[in-house]
């Protein structure tokens, strides 16, 4: 089955760190660019970060630049998001998403998401 | 990276059509034919409905169609059905390897 499964979310204090993982299966992970998208409760999705299929190119939303790091291990079919210096406004469900093969910044496969709550 | 602007709500009776707008700038919607649309049910992940402004992924009914004029993209749902009641979000490439989503529209089937 073609799927993405996120893990690693939870409750963390402001200023803390968390690493999210996204396990891919059912498709050739190493050939796809991948993204993280987050969605705060009751709000719309917000694009967070993107990584090239071989990991050589990364990009970030201004709101997370310098605090979050996207990476991938193609041997393990896994995408990561290292989140440091977390703030209350980072509270959201974090989705990993696969970019379509035409590389036109659309997301053709999504995981179910993992909830990150930043609170003291 | 300001969110793209969508109307908060839209509605129609079964069988009717509803059109949702997505307003951006020349740096995102107007600058690229990289607009996509997503359907989302409560508690679920978004689902791709339209990509590259007008293209439908396999399995998406042809009742869903997309278009763009200038800095505004639109999603039209024709022949509304009960299962179309959901939140809809547009998204666009915004240059510099970054993306942006819309504010979202809740579609109600009356």
Instruction: Give B95→chain A minimum CA distance, Å.
Output: 10
pLDDT value of residue B96: 92
Chain B residues touching residue A37 (CB < 8 angstroms): 101
Comparing alpha-carbon positions, the chain B residue that sits nearest to A94 is: B45
pLDDT (tens digit, 9 = 90+) per residue, B82-108? 999 999 999 999 999 999 999 999 999
- 3 state DSSP class of B35: strand
Q: Is the minimum CB–CB distance between A98 and chain B shorter than 8 Å?
A: no
pLDDT value of residue B42: 95
B90 DSSP β-pair partners: B37
Indicate yes or no: CB of A47 within 8 angstroms of CB of B52: no
CA proximity to A107, closest of B67, B19, B99, B85: B99
Q: Which long-range contacts (CB under 8 A, 24 or more apart) does B56-63 make?
A: B57/A108
- 3 state DSSP class of A40: coil
> Which residues 16-55 in chain A show a CB within 8 A of chain B?
35, 37, 44-47, 50
pLDDT value of residue B92: 97
Q: Is the minimum CB–CB distance between A59 and chain B shorter than 8 Å?
A: yes
Instruction: Give A83→chain B minimum CA distance, Å.
Output: 18
pLDDT (tens digit, 9 = 90+) per residue, B17-61? 999 999 999 999 999 999 999 999 999 999 999 999 999 999 999
pLDDT (tens digit, 9 = 90+) per residue, A7-23? 999 999 999 999 999 99
pLDDT value of residue B110: 93
Chain B residues touching residue A59 (CB < 8 angstroms): 96-98
pLDDT value of residue A7: 98
Task: Provide the number of CB pairs (under 8 Å) joining chain A to chain B.
Answer: 75
Q: How far apart are CA B89 and CA A22, in angstroms?
A: 23
pLDDT (tens digit, 9 = 90+) per residue, A21-76? 999 999 999 999 999 999 999 999 999 999 999 999 999 999 999 999 999 999 99
pLDDT (tens digit, 9 = 90+) per residue, A97-120? 999 999 899 999 999 999 999 999
Is the model's pLDDT at B1 over the cut of 80?
no
């Amino acid at each position: 089955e073609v799927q993405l499964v996120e893990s690693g979310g939870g409750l963390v204090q402001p200023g803390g760190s968390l690493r999210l993982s996204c396990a891919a299966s059912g498709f050739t992970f190493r050939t796809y660019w991948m993204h993280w998208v987050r969605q705060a409760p009751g709000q719309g999705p917000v694009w967070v970060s993107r990584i090239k299929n071989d990991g050589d190119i990364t990009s970030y939303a201004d709101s997370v630049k310098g605090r979050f790091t996207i990476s991938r291990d193609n041997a393990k079919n896994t995408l990561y998001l290292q989140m440091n210096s977390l703030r209350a406004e980072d509270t959201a469900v974090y989705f990993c998403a696969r970019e379509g093969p035409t590389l036109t910044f659309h997301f053709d496969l999504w995981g179910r998401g993992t909830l990150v709550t930043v609170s003291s | 990276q300001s969110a793209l602007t969508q109307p908060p709500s839209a509605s129609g009776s079964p069988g009717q059509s509803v059109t949702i707008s997505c307003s951006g700038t020349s740096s995102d919607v107007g600058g690229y034919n990289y607009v996509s649309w997503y359907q989302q049910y409560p508690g679920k992940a978004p689902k791709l409905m339209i990509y590259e402004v007008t293209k439908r992924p396999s399995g998406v009914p042809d009742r869903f169609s997309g278009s763009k004029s200038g800095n505004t993209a639109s999603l039209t749902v024709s022949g509304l059905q009960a299962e179309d009641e959901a939140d809809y979000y547009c998204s666009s490439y915004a240059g510099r390897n970054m993306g942006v989503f819309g504010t979202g529209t809740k579609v109600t089937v009356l």
